[in-house]
């Protein structure tokens, strides 16, 4: 009797643990937000990630930021623990100029632009709503200029100075866009 009771409790605990793990996965913010990761790298004390979600409405909606686009393309750029420029681990890196170019493989279609800094419920990032050329394989490149280009300076004295800014960064990834379902269905 005691063995059966212990066996049933053990089985219940294992099943409860599996259920809890499944609930955790299903309720994670990235799943509900619909993030599609294109790629990420660590460079110059930063983690740089390219992701997209369905297009979003922003304020103010400036020309070129139409919610009628296909994707909301983001550059999530955060400091690593060893960041030499004075940013705490996980901190968003401000005052960057982040340009993008997207081309569709097998066609002449391409678009380019510069991201705008913005904030969402998951924190600040650089992004733009973008209209693609339908489903297919795309090539994405980012060009990231360091903060001085946008007027952000650093201390250079011995007591409070930080490391030198990095040289401009160029990154490339390939990704497949299969389209999205109905808005809000992610």
- What's residue 21's pLDDT? 42
Q: What is the pTM of this model?
A: 0.78
Whether residue 27 is predicted with pLDDT greater than 90 in this model: the reply is no
pLDDT digits (tens, 9 = 90+) for 89-132: 999 999 999 999 999 999 999 999 999 999 999 999 999 999 99
If we measure between CA atoms, which residue out of 79, 72, 106 comes closest to residue 94? 79
Confidence category of residue 14, pLDDT binned at 50, 70, 90: low
CA–CA gap between residue 64 and residue 122 (Å, rounded): 23
CA–CA gap between residue 186 and residue 172 (Å, rounded): 26
pLDDT digits (tens, 9 = 90+) for 30-61: 344 588 999 999 999 999 999 999 998 888 87
Widest CA span in the chain: 75
Confidence category of residue 183, pLDDT binned at 50, 70, 90: low
Whether residue 182 is predicted with pLDDT greater than 70 in this model: the reply is no
CA–CA gap between residue 159 and residue 143 (Å, rounded): 32
Q: How far is CA 16 from CA 2, 3, 19, 22, 27, in A?
A: 21, 20, 5, 10, 16
The third-level CATH classification (topology) of the domain covering 50-186 is Immunoglobulin-like (2.60.40)
Whether residue 88 is predicted with pLDDT greater than 90 in this model: the reply is yes
More confident site: 60 or 175: 175
Whether residue 84 is predicted with pLDDT greater than 60 in this model: the reply is yes
Burial of 40 (0-12, 13-18, 19+ CB in 10 A): middle
- What's residue 32's pLDDT? 41
CA–CA gap between residue 157 and residue 50 (Å, rounded): 34
Q: Where are the beta strands (DSSP E) in the chain?
A: 36-43, 46-53, 71-79, 97-104, 110-114, 116-120, 123-130, 136-145, 169-177
Domain ranges, ordered by start, for the chain: 50-186
């Amino acid at each position: 009797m005691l063995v059966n009771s212990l066996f049933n409790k053990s089985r219940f605990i294992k099943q409860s643990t599996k259920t809890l793990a499944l609930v955790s996965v299903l309720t994670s913010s990235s799943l509900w937000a619909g993030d599609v990761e294109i790629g990420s790298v660590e460079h110059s004390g930063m983690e740089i990630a390219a992701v997209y979600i369905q297009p979003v409405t922003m304020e103010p909606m400036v020309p070129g930021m139409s919610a009628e686009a296909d994707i909301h393309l983001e550059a999530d750029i955060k400091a690593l623990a060893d960041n030499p420029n004075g940013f705490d681990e996980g901190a968003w890196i401000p005052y960057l100029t982040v340009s993008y170019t997207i081309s569709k493989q097998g066609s002449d279609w391409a678009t380019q632009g510069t991201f705008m800094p913005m904030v969402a419920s998951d924190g600040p990032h650089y992004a733009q709503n973008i209209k693609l050329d339908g489903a297919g394989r795309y090539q994405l490149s980012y060009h990231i200029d360091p903060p001085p280009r946008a007027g952000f300076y650093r201390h250079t004295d011995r007591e409070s100075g930080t490391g030198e800014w990095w040289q401009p960064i160029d990154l490339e990834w390939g990704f497949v866009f299969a389209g999205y379902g109905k808005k809000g269905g992610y």
